[in-house]
């Protein structure tokens, strides 16, 4: 699970930037997106997305391949220049035996 916190008033602009430059690349390289959300209640100005991997090694290999794509550097450059983000947080979740998503 990844959580991005944007500057107040910049959430929609960040979502558009991500959709325009990163979404297709992440779909291509990372594959199993389990959900991509904006927070409606609770801490505001946040985006939460969930990705499924077979293992940490699977995640590392997929993210390395994506990082090597020149399009990813373009996204990172645009994101840095825009300055929309305040924070980024990763949480690695392990499903229970009864979780509907494994």
The first and second tokens of residue 4, run together, are 């991005």
The first and second tokens of residue 60, run together, are 């590392």
pLDDT tens for the chain, residues 1 to 102? 999 999 999 999 999 999 999 999 999 999 899 999 999 999 999 999 999 999 999 999 999 999 999 999 999 999 999 999 999 999 999 889 999 987
Closest CA to 10 of 68, 83, 62: 83
Residue 93: per-residue pLDDT: 92
Residue 81: per-residue pLDDT: 98
Find how far residue 57's CA is from the centre of its chain. Answer: 18
Residue 101: per-residue pLDDT: 84
Residue 65: per-residue pLDDT: 98
Residue 58: per-residue pLDDT: 96
Residue 53: per-residue pLDDT: 93
Largest Cα–Cα distance in the chain? Answer: 43
Residue 10: per-residue pLDDT: 98
- Phi, psi for 9 (deg, rounded to 5): 85, 0
């Amino acid at each position: 699970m990844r959580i991005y916190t944007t500057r107040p008033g910049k959430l929609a602009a960040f979502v558009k930037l991500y959709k325009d430059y990163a979404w297709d690349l992440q779909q291509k390289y990372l594959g199993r997106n389990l959900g991509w959300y904006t927070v409606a209640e609770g801490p505001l100005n946040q985006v939460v997305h969930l990705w499924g991997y077979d293992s940490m090694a699977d995640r590392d290999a997929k993210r390395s391949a994506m990082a090597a794509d020149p399009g990813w550097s373009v996204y990172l450059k645009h994101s840095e220049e825009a300055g929309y983000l305040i924070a980024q947080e990763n949480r690695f979740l392990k499903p229970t035996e009864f979780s509907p998503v494994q």
